[in-house]
Structure 1
Amino acid sequence: MRIVGGEFRGRGLAAPKTLTIRPTTDRSRESLFNIISHAHPAVLDGTRVLDLFAGTGAVGIEALSRGARSALFVESGVEGRGIIQKNIETFGLQGRARLFRRDATKLGPSGTMGAFDLVFADPPYGKGLGERALASASRGGWIREGALVVLEEETAADPDPGGGFELLDSRAFGDTVMRFFRYTVPHSSVGRSISAVATESRHDHE
């Protein structure tokens, strides 16, 4: 595994030793960022990135290599967090990258972490986790108005993250489909009660 473009191009990434983590391949990651750079050329310039189900952190670090200002890596697995931390240190990204131990489907309110301009979600396939995570991110205020959201899933899946996510494009790579959404804050999210957000946060800590 290596970074395929930008400041860190060609540098190797720490990789998983087990099959519990399925990192995006170098080729798929290169295709992903080629699409972004051509269809959304300004999106990486100084942007804040949210990497859900971050795994090894490869996608978020690729974004940092290509001009993103900062990245938050959300990962609940022990092996994944260890790999992400190692990669952050290897690339000297301590000032631009943060590791967040959390179930991506139960994010709770974003609080002081604010909203993000570019969101990646690469969940375990076939379980509906990606759409649940994006719905949770929407409820919690993690996604900025107008943000680009990328959801990776198996070709057989038909994810529906709910209101606010406008499908812009869909690209297939073998057994994988990457869906590109533009996010608009739903009216229901704007008026969501504090008690509902607090309930989600409380459940996350149980």
Structure 2
Amino acid sequence: MTRHRSRSPSKPARHGKLRLIGGDFKRRQLPILDRPGLRPTPDRVRETLFNWIGPLGGAHVLDAFAGSGALGLEALSRGAASLTLIEKDRQAARQLEDNLTTLDVRERATLHRLDALAWLDSAEPMPYGLVFLDPPFGQGLADPICALLERGGWLTEQAMIYLEVEQALVPNVPAHWRLEKQTRAGETQARLYRRTPLAEGDTDA
């Protein structure tokens, strides 16, 4: 779970800890930036999410607003075949690079320090079986990135898409994304969708 806000350049970055909770790196602790607006998805929420998802079965995973990398790194720990992280914040991206090196997973993980929408709109698409979307609140990013994933060829036929948005928002996702699970906590609602195949002749955004 990641929220970005500006911080004074005169203050040195402090560090907190991210604890991975399952898989090969269970109980490993990694440093993360400790500043307002940048925080990992809590252990309890991650545990619930990965119980929803079940075995990853070598899935290719995209974490489009990576922040601390809590979701993407947890997926790697639990057997993801590959992970693509998108994070435009320079300091957060640098810490992610360090943590990938610490875990010795650079052969399975790629980090792009770019805007997520810009990257999806310009890169050569590959289909992902699991996508994490936790865009900053209040910037209207959820609907366009869902539409871009769908029309750009970024999803496998039955991909799972995890979306975190503010409580008051009703996200507008492609019609054939079926809502499988949802929960609410504080200011956040979390939704897990599964993409279902389009019927022959149907179209979607």
TM-score class normalised by the smaller sequence: 0.7 to 0.9
TM-aligned CA deviation for residue 149 of structure 1: 0.6
CA distance in 2, matches of 1:4, 1:173: 19
TM-aligned CA deviation for residue 25 of structure 1: 1.7
Q: How many residues are paired up? A: 184
Q: Structure 1: which 5+ runs fail to align? A: 193-206
**8 A contact 1:138–1:185 mirrored in 2:** no
Note the 1:40-119 alignment, pairs <5 A. Answer: 42=55, 44-106=56-118, 107-111=120-124, 114-119=126-131
Q: Relative to structure 1, is the Cα distance of residues 150 and 99 closer, same or farther in structure 2, using a 3 angstrom cutoff? A: same
Cross-structure match for 2:24: 7
Percent identity at matched positions?
40
Q: Relative to structure 1, is the Cα distance of residues 101 and 164 closer, same or farther in structure 2, using a 3 angstrom cutoff? A: farther
**8 A contact 1:123–1:153 mirrored in 2:** yes
Cross-structure match for 1:195: none
1:127 maps to a residue whose letter is Q
Q: Relative to structure 1, is the Cα distance of residues 123 and 61 closer, same or farther in structure 2, using a 3 angstrom cutoff? A: same
- Whichever structure has more strand as a proportion of its residues is 2
1:32 maps to a residue whose letter is L
1:131 equivalenced with 2:143 (yes/no): yes
Cross-structure match for 2:45: 28
TM-score, length-scaled by structure 2 = 0.81
1:92 maps to a residue whose letter is D
CA distance in 2, matches of 1:79, 1:24: 18
Aligned-partner SS, 2:26: coil
TM-score, length-scaled by structure 1 = 0.81
CA-based RMSD: 2.0
**8 A contact 1:109–1:141 mirrored in 2:** no
2:178 maps to a residue whose letter is E
**8 A contact 2:90–2:113 mirrored in 1:** no
- Whichever structure has more helix as a proportion of its residues is 1
TM-aligned CA deviation for residue 188 of structure 1: 4.2
Q: Relative to structure 1, is the Cα distance of residues 142 and 102 closer, same or farther in structure 2, using a 3 angstrom cutoff? A: farther
Quick check: 69-78 or 15-24, which moved more? 15-24
Note the 1:165-176 alignment, pairs <5 A. Answer: 165-176=177-188
Aligned-partner SS, 2:169: coil
TM-aligned CA deviation for residue 96 of structure 1: 0.5
CA distance in 2, matches of 1:131, 1:123: 10
2:31 maps to a residue whose letter is A
**8 A contact 2:63–2:132 mirrored in 1:** yes
**8 A contact 2:41–2:70 mirrored in 1:** yes
Cross-structure match for 1:198: none
TM-aligned CA deviation for residue 36 of structure 1: 1.8
TM-aligned CA deviation for residue 161 of structure 1: 2.4
